Amino acid sequence: MFEGPVPPIVPFSLGSLGFMTPFYREQYKECLESILKGPISITLRHRLQCHVIRDAAKNEYETEEPILVLNEVTIDRGISSFLTNLECYCDNSFVTCVQGDGLILSTTSGSTAYSLAAGGSMVHPQVPGILFTPICPHSLSFRPLIFPEHVTLRVQVPFNSRSPAWASFDGKDRKQLAPGDALVCSMAPWPVPTACLDDSTNDFLRSIHEGLHWNLRKTQSFDGPRET
């Protein structure tokens, strides 16, 4: 949907947990009237475009059209009992080899989704970048990364891998990646503009406070011990 320019979208919450849906459906008339009167604030939500390469030696895309994702693309081990073995490159520079349950390449809008559950940072959706988050890595020192928006990431299943991997795009359209296959990911040229309730920062902070109870704790007293 919307492979080119995207019209502004007014996202309504239907009751489940959502970080992109600041408007309540019960108040849709008031919301739409306010938006039509204007002015409104817009959040530009970046997307990723992905291509699958069958047989990396040929370096040819499986399809001409890219697969677009708003949250994340996940490469995991599927039903295999073996760890994934994924060779990762950034603009042809070797990054690392992921050995674990898999890898998440996420937008900043998707930073509060699967990437968050895997230990990735929460990032303001207006920040352009690609999150690089391992899933249960078999390493004590594998920390998540954030790449700038202009890079191209390539994740390849080595020819000597013990098992295939599986790619999932926004939680659906799973594709098997056999040994020798690769997935290429970069920032899509057209973001998704969504209407804000207040502005992008207030909406983001409200969503992590109300949805995740971020940094919610009992306030500590600073009075100190009383002198006797």
* Per-residue pLDDT tens over the stretch 27-81: 888 888 888 887 889 999 999 999 999 986 677 787 778 999 999 999 999 998 8
Confidence (pLDDT) at 11? 86
The pLDDT score that the predictor gives to residue 30 is 84
Tens of pLDDT along 143-179? 999 999 999 999 999 999 989 999 999 998 899 999 9
> How many other C-beta atoms are found inside a 10 Å radius of the C-beta of residue 85?
19
Instruction: Choose between 225 and 147: higher pLDDT.
Output: 147
pLDDT at 225: 64
Which residues are bridge partners to 148 per DSSP? 129
Task: Read off the pTM.
Answer: 0.89
**Parallel, antiparallel or unpaired: strands 84-90 and 152-156:** antiparallel
81/15: higher pLDDT: 81
pLDDT value, residue 4: 78
**How does the average pLDDT of the chain come out, rounded?**
90
User: Does position 228 have pLDDT exceeding 80, yes or no?
Assistant: no
User: Does the pLDDT value for residue 26 go beyond 80?
Assistant: yes
Residue 223 predicted with pLDDT over 80 = no
Residue linked to tokens 């849709």:
28
Q: Tokens at residue 144, please?
A: 């998540």
Asked if the model's pLDDT at residue 91 lies above 90, the reply is: yes
**What pLDDT, on the 0 to 100 scale, is given for residue 131?**
98
Distance CA 120, CA 143 (A): 8
39 upstream amide cis, omega within 30 of 0: yes
The span from the CA of 224 to the CA of 80, in Å, is 56
All residues at 6 or more sequence positions from 225 whose CB lies less than 8 Å from its CB, including other chains: none
Domains of the chain, CATH where assigned: 12-41+196-212 (no CATH), 48-187 (2.60.200.30)
- The model's confidence at residue 224, banded by pLDDT at 50, 70 and 90, is low
Q: How far apart are CA 157 and CA 168, in angstroms?
A: 15
Q: Is pLDDT above 90 for 226?
A: no
pLDDT-based confidence at residue 1 (cuts at 50, 70, 90): low
Backbone angles phi, psi at 133, to 5 degrees: -120, 120
Using a 10 angstrom Cβ sphere, with 0-12 exposed, 13-18 middle and 19 or more buried, the burial of residue 55 is: middle
Residue 139 has pLDDT above 90, yes or no: yes
Query: What percent of the chain has pLDDT above 70?
Result: 96
Longest dimension (CA), the chain: 81
- Counting beta carbons within 10 angstroms of the beta carbon of residue 135, is it exposed (0 to 12), middle (13 to 18) or buried (19 or more)? buried
